[in-house]
């Protein structure tokens, strides 16, 4: 009976070890998308009176368990160590506390650090940071409710996207990189609000032409949602988007240098891409 060479066995083992964490992050994404969108497939009489009043605690528990599983897998395969987890915790606590910073026009201080840290450390770190930061923020501000798991997921996606952008921009001139990250923050100022509205919009029943109703076509649903978004959220999100971009433009170079310095010191132990 022939056996595979040791190097081949190690390569296969590393491939499986690498695939498992990626599957966990993919599972978080799929679970989040399903949680946001499943009400659109329910009949009118099946929609509860309160948005996600029954399933939000279950969703929060599932997300929490999956995040812990992702951390355990990262530590087990050696792509995270005690220093990495410590940095993750410090950044999550800092981002959560920054939400207490009220910016002009209704902007929030939580977003810019998620974007910069995600770009510095990579998409998987960025997703974990977004999820953890919103959890800390909810504890600090008392903002615990059925909306929390949806806020966590949206902020996790923001951090992950910044990580993918950081892979592209890391070899660029620093000022150009910051301009691109500021543009990303500006876009996510709108995108975050547009995503978050979906956690409750299907359950709004007294909005007339701004409400969703079962049986609407996809284009009709988009038209109604756009009207709802413009009428309720656009101005608020525009202020937040501008705040994101300005903060990143002002302090981004200095913060990114510090974060990248930490990220480079953790290599090659940490492989977060």
CATH architecture of the region 20-37+47-266: Orthogonal Bundle (1.10)
pLDDT for residue 169: 94
Query: In terms of Cα–Cα distance, which of 222, 140, 236 is closest to 192?
Result: 236
Alpha carbon separation from 252 to 2, 10, 63, 244, 259 (Å, rounded):
56, 40, 30, 11, 10
Ranges of residues in the chain whose predicted pLDDT is under 70: 1-19, 44-49, 104-107, 207, 267-273
Residue 25's H or E segment, with its range, is helix 6-37
The pTM for the full model equals 0.87
For the record, the structure tokens of 180 come out as 């691109």
All structural domains of the chain with their residue ranges: 20-37+47-266
Place of tokens 């999820």: 131
Indicate the DSSP class of residue 5: -
Can you give 81-132 as a three-state secondary structure string? CHHHHHHHHHHHHHHHHHCCCECHHHCECCHHHHHHHHHHHCHHHHHHHHHH
Query: In terms of Cα–Cα distance, which of 195, 215, 213 is closest to 203?
Result: 213
* pLDDT tens-digit series, residues 36-94: 998 888 776 666 667 777 788 899 899 989 888 888 888 888 888 888 899 999 999 99
């Amino acid at each position: 009976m022939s056996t595979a060479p040791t190097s081949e066995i190690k390569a296969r083992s590393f491939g499986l070890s690498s695939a498992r964490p990626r599957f966990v992050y993919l599972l978080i994404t799929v679970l989040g998308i399903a949680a946001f969108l499943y009400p659109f497939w329910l009949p009118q009489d099946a929609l509860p009176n309160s948005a996600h009043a029954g399933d939000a605690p279950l969703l929060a528990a599932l997300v929490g368990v999956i995040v812990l599983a992702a951390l355990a897998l990262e530590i087990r395969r050696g792509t995270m160590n005690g220093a990495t987890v410590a940095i993750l915790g410090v950044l999550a606590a800092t981002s959560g506390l920054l939400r207490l910073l009220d910016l002009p026009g209704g902007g929030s201080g939580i977003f810019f650090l998620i974007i910069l840290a995600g770009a510095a450390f990579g998409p998987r770190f960025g997703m974990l940071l977004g999820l953890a930061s919103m959890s800390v923020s909810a504890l600090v501000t008392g903002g615990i409710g059925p909306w929390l798991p949806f806020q966590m997921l949206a902020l996790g996606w923001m951090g992950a996207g910044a990580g993918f952008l950081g892979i592209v921009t890391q070899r660029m001139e620093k000022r150009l990189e910051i301009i691109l990250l500021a543009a990303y923050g500006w876009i996510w100022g709108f995108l975050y609000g547009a995503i978050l509205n979906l956690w409750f919009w299907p359950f709004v029943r007294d909005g007339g032409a701004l409400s969703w109703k079962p049986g609407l076509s996809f284009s009709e649903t988009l038209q109604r949602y756009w009207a709802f978004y413009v009428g309720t959220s656009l101005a608020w999100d525009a202020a937040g988007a501008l705040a994101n971009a300005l903060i990143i433009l002002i302090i981004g170079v200095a913060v990114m240098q510090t974060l990248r310095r930490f990220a480079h010191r953790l290599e090659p132990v940490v492989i977060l891409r």
